[in-house]
Amino acid sequence: DSGVTQTPKHLITATGQRVTLRCSPRSGDLSVYWYQQSLDQGLQFLIQYYNGEERAKGNILERFSAQQFPDLHSELNLSSLELGDSALYFCASSGEKGAPREQYFGPGTRLTVT
């Protein structure tokens, strides 16, 4: 158990809908990262938050947005869903202060868009 929690574990929804994925980092970790794992694109970084502020952005679509709250949990919002958004979405956290540390991943949310 990495200490990172994600809910829900599975999500099935229809095209055009909007969903919210939730992540709670390990106790004490200030950084939260979101990654998408799909068959055709592999594991891709989406976005990072550090102590409530956006720190880095990757290949995140404009239809997707995220935020990190004062209690450090994070939410990834996916809107106007398309079939191609079906994927496993991971949240990771790390406790780096200065020197980079390893990222610990949550169990993932499997999103199926029908």
Is the CB of 54 or the CB of 82 nearer to another protein? 54
Measure the CA–CA gap between 11 and 112, rounded to whole angstroms: 6
Is the CB of 56 or the CB of 114 nearer to another protein? 56
Closest contact distance (angstroms) between CB of 48 and another protein is 6
Is the CB of 15 or the CB of 89 nearer to another protein? 89
Q: Which residues of this chain interact with another protein, rule CB under 8 A?
A: 2, 31, 33, 35, 42-45, 48, 50, 55-56, 58, 88, 90, 92, 94, 96, 100-108, 110
Pairing relationship of beta strands 109-113 and 19-24 according to DSSP bridges: unpaired
17 secondary structure, DSSP code: -
Answer whether 114's CB lies under 8 Å from 15's CB.
Answer: yes
Closest contact distance (angstroms) between CB of 6 and another protein is 10
DSSP secondary structure string for all residues of 81-92: --GGG-EEEEEE
Closest contact distance (angstroms) between CB of 75 and another protein is 19
Strand partners, 68: 74
